[in-house]
Amino acid sequence: MIRKILLTGTTILVSLLLVRPSAFALELVVSGNGEGSDNEIQVQVEQETNVQQSNEADVSNEVNTEADTGNNEANDNTGGEVQIQTGDIETETSITNNLNTSMIGVSECCPQEVTNLVIDGNGTDSQNAIDLSVTNKTNISVNQKANVTNWVQGSSNTGNNTASGNSGNVTIQTGNIIGEVSISNSVNHADIDVASGWGAQLKIKITGNGSGSTNSIRIKLDNAITIEKEDLANIDNIIIWDANTGENEANDNLGDVAISTGDIALVIDIQNGPINTNRIAVAGCCPSPQEPFDPGEPLAPPPPVGGAPSDGDGGNGNGNGNGNGNGDEEDEVLAAAAGAILPATGSLWWLLALIANIATFLMGMYLRLRSGRSPGLSPSSHRA
């Protein structure tokens, strides 16, 4: 006789969370302000992402198994032989616990928005400034608790057979017992991916501002990531097993007595793990292809000026700056430009006089060479 008992318990608890904070784009422009004006833009952007997960599992597994092919009796028989043969027993008990798996993904990248900072076309001696401060905070908290109790109790018996008071030969042969108990516990796992930072493309432009102007763009980026993970696992595995192929009796028999007991093979396998495992990956924003630098249209040359001397006119400054922050670092970039001053220009009388002098000199040289060597002075014409 063969008896096979298969008991399997599986528990799986999985939490999945994907977070993508909203991206933002800014357009900060200081443009078209008059001479001597003082213009400033101050912007503070704060973005905070909070993720909190709590997993708590209380699991109790209790398994009781009994298998019996024994406890047979053959007593007080006359004539012939008495034979007791019990069957084999095979049992298998399996318990699997997969508890508290957290998967968290935080990303504010791809596609990136565009933020433009422009100081353009402001008057002479103006003061123009843009101050941009961006603070990005990501806070992740994962709390996992698991209380697991596995109780396995079983008995397998092919023995406890009795053959007594028989007049003939007596044979008792008990079956084999094969038992397997396996317990697997895997609890408290976290898989955290964070791609955080400046979720925008930054374009800075300072151009076309008047002479004597002061233009500056200041950028401050602060990126902070905080991850907290707390794990608690209490696991109790209790196995009680009784296996018997013996305790057979053959008393007061007149013939020959033979008792053969079976084998016992009991395998117990307990695996605790993995327990309290973490995979945390923190990366910056997705790289974006860089556009080629565009210097813009060239400035037109100043028109020719004539007449009375005039004051200098025109001037422009341009510059650019950018910065980025990741982690707990702070970066500050300053881009400033002051308008250049062109030299004053007046009338063209001095230029015409210079050209006339040069023409006279060249004409004299030509006439001298054309007539040949100059004649010397005659002695008769010389007077003391």
Residue 254: phi and psi, rounded to 5, are -85, -30
Please choose, from the candidates 20, 107, 103, 102, the residue with its C-alpha nearest in 3D space to the C-alpha of residue 55. 102
DSSP state of 371: S
Is residue 301 included in any domain, yes or no?
A: no
How far are the Cα atoms of 10, 49, 137, 198 from residue 227, in angstroms, in the given order?
31, 12, 11, 19
Q: What angle do CA 172, 175, 180 make, to 5 degrees?
A: 155
Is residue 374 included in any domain, yes or no?
A: no
| Distance (Å, whole) CA 366 – CA 361 | 9
Strand partners, 27: 116
| Distance (Å, whole) CA 278 – CA 267 | 32
| Distance (Å, whole) CA 182 – CA 323 | 58
pLDDT at 313: 41
Is residue 361 included in any domain, yes or no?
A: no
Strand 264-283 relative to strand 200-207, pairing: unpaired
Residues 72-91 as b/e (b if ≥16 CB within 10 A, e otherwise) read: bebeebeeeebebbbebbbb
pLDDT per position in the chain (384 positions), as tens? 444 444 444 444 555 555 555 556 788 898 999 899 999 999 998 888 899 889 999 999 999 999 999 999 999 988 789 999 999 999 999 999 999 998 888 876 555 678 899 999 999 999 999 999 988 888 999 999 999 999 999 999 999 999 999 999 999 999 999 999 999 999 999 999 887 666 667 888 999 999 999 999 999 988 888 999 999 999 999 999 999 999 999 999 899 999 999 999 999 999 998 999 999 888 766 554 445 445 445 445 445 444 444 343 433 333 333 333 333 433 333 333 333 333 434 456 666 777 877 878 777 777 777 665 544 444 444 443
Structural tokens at position 379: 């002695």
Asked if residue 142 lies in contact with residue 104, where contact means CB atoms within 8 angstroms, the answer is yes
Domains held by the chain: number: 1
Containing domain of residue 20, as a range? 3-290+313-345
Is residue 384 included in any domain, yes or no?
A: no
Is residue 42 included in any domain, yes or no?
A: yes
Asked if residue 211 lies in contact with residue 302, where contact means CB atoms within 8 angstroms, the answer is no
Is residue 352 included in any domain, yes or no?
A: no
pTM of the model: 0.61
Q: Is 356 helix (H, G, I), strand (E, B) or coil?
A: helix
Is residue 138 included in any domain, yes or no?
A: yes
Is residue 162 included in any domain, yes or no?
A: yes
Asked if residue 213 lies in contact with residue 128, where contact means CB atoms within 8 angstroms, the answer is yes
Structural tokens at position 331: 């970066």
